[in-house]
Amino acid sequence: MSKPVKERKSRPVNLDLQTISFPITAIASILHRVAGVITFVAVGILLWLLSISLSSPVGFMEASDIVNGFFVKFILWGILTALSYHIVGGIRHLLMDLGHFEELDTGAMSAKVAFGVTAVLSLLAGVWVW
């Protein structure tokens, strides 16, 4: 005796990510992961720069010259912005693990606060770098 075959419902499948409207909580979570990857890669760049600067007085001057360029300052600003968002988002996730901001409305509010705090920290990092 054979099993009855389940009928497949024909429903539309939308795989175009540009047409999907993500909630702000999903955007915050995705950006937290992206900021973590950027921070991980930045550790290698910053350790290389630290290695050059600690090698000798001449190496310190070379590292100083590297950091004084606009493009490198922009990259450093991006690294600091990603690090600050990752820290702020991590604190948000820790608070959620403790049982806070778990509802949709409070989660959206905490995501907006995380974006706002990161914007302020990003501005401060820009002032510090330049």
14, 44, 106, 114 from 69: Cα distances, Å: 45, 19, 42, 30
Please count the helices (runs of H) and the strands (runs of E) in the chain: 4, 0
- Exposed (0-12), middle (13-18) or buried (19+): which is 3, by Cβ within 10 Å? exposed
Token digits of residue 58: 């001449």
Amino acid at position 43, single letter: V
Token digits of residue 101: 């901001």
Task: Tell me: is residue 93 an annotated ligand-binding position.
Answer: no
Token digits of residue 2: 């054979």
Amino acid at position 39, single letter: T
Q: Which residues are annotated as a binding site?
A: 86
- Binding residues for heme are 86
